[in-house]
Structure 1
Amino acid sequence: MEELIPPTVPVPLSVLTDDPELGMRQVAGPEHPETLVYAVHTSEMADPLPYLLGGELLLSAGVHCPAAPDSTAGVATDSAVGTGVDSAAVPGQRDGDGSAEEHWKRYVTRSVEAGAAALGFGIAPVHDRVPAALVRACDRQGLPLVEVPEGTPFTAVARTVWQAITQRRHQALRRLSEAQRTLAAAAAGPNPVPAVLGQLAQRLDAWAVLLTADGRELTRAGSPPSEEVRSELAALTGRLRPGPSSVAADVGDLHLSVYGLGGRKPLALGVCAPHRGPVDGSIAAVAVVLLSLLTERRAVAVEEQRSAALVRLMLGAPVKEAARLLNGGQQRWVVVHGRRRGGRAGRSPAGDGNCSGDSGRTDDPFTAAALAAALGTTLVDLAGDELRALVPAGDGRVQPQQGWALGVSAPVPVEELGHGDAEAARALRRALAERRPVVRQRDGNTADVASLVAPEDGRALARARLAPLDGHPELVETLRMWLSLHGSWDRTAVALEVHRNTVRQRMARIGRLLGQDLTEQDVRMELWFALKWR
């Protein structure tokens, strides 16, 4: 009956049964899952089906079925006057208990067919208790039945429902408005596609993923479900129709939805959520519109410039001439090397002009696009966890990028890009060794010791040299502070907030554990680099 339910915000039946002023209680039917009520309708008609849309709490005092055979005539006459029901046409009004049983059975069946969410039975003036036959019929049909006590007007029940609906509608509109604002802000940011997916996952408490037409995952956000669920979600892309369309399915307690984004390169948005409501669908629709715009190729001028530069290079034009097409006339460039935090090197040694076999390829093209936008360049080579980029020197300083370590060369002319590439590689090694987000090579700067040692080798050396201090963090910190303050006992004591004799005792112990003479400058230098690499 879902298609018959009016477009409104429902409220749980427990809103009524938990209200002490109403005094209602459920006497039959299932209590779980929670019954949702979309409206309240009062009727004394024996057949409610023609008068319901679906989703209502149907209220009745049982006028259409008298409490006892000897009161049938009087009640039937009152019913006919008050409701327009022909007593002769109402089954069960001139029969005994067996006919009442059949009447309530038919009444509940017709209520279920009409899509009623629940029945509310009013005590008095006709019945002094809920008929046992009605309770049995509701239990058999799985229809919730609540008792409305004497003294609780049906209008009070309706008023409570509408107040709750109004409050929930206001909350839903506020939630939708807030989601629209944050999604739009994410789309306007420097990393739009992942940012929109992240906001969508947060707003829906879901897992959101961008899929190709064949179900391959491009980029994602949120806590991923099981591989089985991910496969089911990917399979739904095959059921999308050309153009804007959507497909949904349920897997256990999870609701899966896939929305086609269209465009020149068909993509789809997949959402895996533990629930699905009208507001959830509206929020997803906003994300679909934004992602459709973001994933459509719109940088036509940039593509033309890159194509023109490539054609000129292939036809033998000097690199300097082709470069002018790419950087707005700038004559100097900055080379950027990067590695994703936690990633492994996948290229050949920097500066040799060769990359690994998957150079220029990535499973996530939107990460490459986001990095290009953040760095201010379209010349980005992203292969797995490795990044290389050319940035026009006049576009400002390269800023840190979340999740990445970057090495930046000094500005160099086109003829010296190879030198800049080697500088950026050394700066990246230093950034990794010192766990810094960005290391910039200054003009005229030469390589330092940290940049000349591979991070893996530096960490191995640090582990070996400092192993005797494992399990003694106070000694490691004292050594670090003492070396940074050029061996000053007093300043080290002040920095560590300990007595200077404590510093002397710790340093003497460190010398014994390491088997080193800490007064020698070479020893101090090696320990300082070991602490940095550690």
Structure 2
Amino acid sequence: MTVLCGADALDRPIRWAHVSELEDPTPYLVGEELLLTAGVRFPSDVPAYVAGLVSSGVSAIGFGVEPEFPTVPSSLVEACSEQGMPLLEVPPSTPFLAVSQALGALLAEIAVREQRMLADSQRALTRAATRVRPVESVLTTLAVVLNCRADLVDAASAPEELASLVARVASGTGPRSASAQVGEDHVTLDPVESAVLVVRRSSPLSPAERAVVAVALALLGLLRRDLESERGQIARLAASALLRSQVVGLVNVLGPGPWRVVAGESRADYDVLAQRYGPLVSKAGEEFLALVPANFEVAGPVGVSSPIPAPAPALIPISTSAIDHAAAEASALLARARATGEPAFPASDLSSLVDPTTARAFARRELAPLLGRPELVDTLRAWLGQHGSWDRAAAVLGVHRNSVRHRISHAERLLGRDLGTADARASLWLALTWLD
């Protein structure tokens, strides 16, 4: 088929190819048709004919030349050109039935492709939900499979242009969602527990892509509930497991002491430690804690506690408070290790010169505007730990680099500090170090 006019509108969707020789076929149209006609009952008022098809949502006209007209009538070409209607010339060698069959095959191919995309996306999202940082991994995977930007926000962290929609979606009850056009982006909003999933991209989501978002919503809802319940239990469960392990004889397994607690998230590290120290390793939720010799060599993003002195004589059980303190210290240091990608040890150098009470007060004063926003605290820690690199911080957090930019910009506004200055970065890094 030859395009006679309307070449700039060939991206319009086609629902089906419909053949009609009526002078006014509009009562029988539903929109998005490729209307095929040979001009058997060619209209006397061609501009009105085309205007009716435009108002009915017809996507394009295909005019079959011969036997009625040897060429496409110039009046039809002129009317379609003036009203922005794509007009195609269908040659005698191409029956209308062939056009319908070709379109049917394309639509079937699209349906199969969308089903495959949905199945592949479901598997990818499910795998993401089992990773170390599952919420961030699910958001990153959703952004990749749909070629979009995906963020979890609340009323306080929502972009200004979406604040009212986010507040309405977050505060409603029952099934609810919203959509909006923001600049050149199509935006959809769906509730996830107390937060809102915001998906934005340059084109609207198809029904299959909306189904992918529904899968992500279900996973994010479960993960956020589980995460909140696990965070409060991790140190207590791990410490209890380590205390129970004393029955195997710590000195026989670890040596005479001193010992340390190591906190981490890597499955590979957990497997190595579990194989080597067995019951002295405990895992709850995303994190694991292990009781190891003080000289145990560590690498990667793990938190390492201060040494725990061995009891004397060795048969006396190690104190509960010593285990609890070491487990809490290692878990707190793990946040710093995530940010830098390197082992985090207890405070030394400058930190060792500062009274702990004074340090904590300084930290809470510096970070006061962010203390109710753990995602901003984590992002600031990762961004500073990676020397202000958007890409490396995004990799540490498992989110899109634009999400890091958005969060750091929001943190900068809340703090009222210029994060481009060395003074602000140094002060905030010390505050984050002393916060826990």
Shorter-normalised TM-score: what interval? 0.5 to 0.7
Q: Which residue of 1 aligns with 2:121?
A: 179
1:105 aligns with 2:36: no
Whether the 8 Å contact between 2:230 and 2:285 is mirrored in structure 1 is no
Matches within 5 A, 1:36-435: 36-65=13-42, 100=44, 102=45, 104-212=46-154, 214-216=155-157, 230-240=159-169, 241-261=172-192, 263=193, 266-278=194-206, 279-296=208-225, 327-328=240-241, 330=243, 335=261, 373-376=285-288, 391=289, 393=291, 404=301, 406-409=303-306, 413-416=319-322, 420=326
CA distance in 1 between counterparts of 2:183 and 2:60 reads 26
CA distance in 1, matches of 2:230, 2:5: 69
Identity value in percent: 32
CA contact (8 A) 1:255 1:274 kept: yes
Residue identity in the other structure for 1:437: E
Shift of residue 172, structure 1, vs aligned partner: 1.3
- Per the TM alignment, residue 280 of structure 1 is displaced from its structure 2 partner at its CA by 2.4
How big is the alpha-carbon RMSD for the aligned residues of Structure 1 and Structure 2? Answer: 4.2
* 3-state SS of 2:285 partner: helix
1:320-351: CA deviations, max 9, x gaps? xxx7996247257954589xxxxxxxxxxxxx
Report the CA distance between 1:114 and its aligned residue.
Answer: 2.3
Q: Encode CA deviations 1:200-256: one digit per residue, 9 max, x unaligned.
A: 1111222211112x2426xxxxxxxxxxxx332344212323232111111222111
What is residue 421 of structure 2 aligned with on the other side? Answer: none
Equivalent pair of 2:263/2:287 in contact (CA under 8 Å): no
- Distance change (3 Å), C-alpha of 1:234 and 1:33: farther
Task: Tell me if the contact between 1:330 and 1:392 (Cα under 8 Å) persists in the aligned partners.
Answer: no
Q: Return the alpha-carbon distance in structure 2 between the equivalents of residues 108 and 301 of structure 1.
A: 63
- The 3 A distance-change label for structure 1 pair 374 and 25 is same
CA–CA distance in structure 2, aligned partners of residues 330 and 172 of structure 1:
53
One-letter amino acid of the structure 1 residue matched with residue 304 of structure 2: G
TM norm structure 1: 0.49
- Please give the per-residue CA displacement for 1:268-307, whole angstroms capped at 9, x wherever unaligned: 111121222313222111111111222235876996x79x
Distance in 1 separating the partners of 2:12 and 2:237: 68
Show CA shifts across 1:144-171 (max 9, x none).
1111112111111112111111222211
| Aligned pairs (5 A) from 1:465-484 | none
Matches of 2:62 and 2:212 in 1, distance apart?
35
Aligned-pair distance for 1:452? Answer: 5.9
CA pair 106-400 structure 1, distance change in 2 beyond 3 A: farther
Letter in 1 for 2:19: T
Instruction: Give yes or no for contact 2:243–2:320 (8 Å, CA) kept in 1.
Output: no
Counterpart of 2:271 in structure 1 is none
> Could you tell me how far 1:258 is from its partner in structure 2?
0.8
Measured after TM superposition, the shift of residue 123 of structure 1 is 0.3
Amino acid in the other structure paired with 1:189: R
In the alignment, the residues of structure 1 paired with residue 121 and residue 89 of structure 2 have an alpha-carbon distance, to the nearest angstrom, of 40
Contact 2:237 2:284 in 1 (8 A): no
**Partner Cα separation in structure 2 for residue 154 and residue 255 of structure 1:** 36
Larger Rg: 1
Structure-2 separation of matches of 1:55 and 1:26? 18
User: 1:320 maps to what in 2?
Assistant: none
Change (3 A) 1:419 1:105: closer
The one-letter code sitting in structure 1 at the alignment partner of 2:214 is A
CA change 1:132–1:399 in 2 (3 A) is farther
Cα distance per residue 1:477-532 (max 9 Å; x no partner): xxxxxxxxxxxxxxxxxxxxxxxxxxxxxxxxxxxxxxxxxxxxxxxxxxxxxxxx
| Counterpart residue number, 1:437 | 342
Aligned residue in 2 for 1:225: none
Kept after mapping to 1: 8 A contact 2:63/2:72: yes
CA contact (8 A) 2:10 2:86 kept: no
Unaligned runs of 5+ in 1: 1-23, 66-91, 93-99, 218-229, 310-322, 339-370, 377-390, 442-450, 456-534
How far is the alpha carbon of 1:32 from its aligned partner?
Answer: 3.8
Q: Which has the higher helix share?
A: 2
- The amino acid that maps onto 1:48 is P
8 Å CA contact 1:190–1:373 kept in 2: the answer is no
Distance 1:252 1:182, change over 3 A: same
Q: 1:46 to 1:334 in 2, by over 3 A?
A: farther
- CA distance in structure 2 between the partners assigned to 1:160 and 1:126 by the alignment: 24
Shift of 1:133: 1.2
The 3 A distance-change label for structure 1 pair 204 and 298 is: closer
TM-score by length of 2: 0.59
Aligned residues: 304
- C-alpha change, 1:180 and 1:407, in structure 2 (3 Å) is same
Partner secondary structure for residue 327 of structure 1: helix
Whether the 8 Å CA contact 2:6–2:86 is kept in 1: the answer is: yes
- When residues 398 and 153 of structure 1 are mapped into structure 2, their CA distance, relative to the original with a 3 A threshold, is farther
Change (3 A) 1:106 1:392: same
Shift of 1:178: 0.6
Of stretches 409-418 and 45-54 in structure 1, the one that deviates more from structure 2 is: 409-418
C-alpha change, 1:160 and 1:47, in structure 2 (3 Å) is same
Residues 35 and 206 of structure 1: CA distance in aligned 2, closer, same or farther (over 3 Å):
same
Q: Show the counterpart of 1:512.
A: none
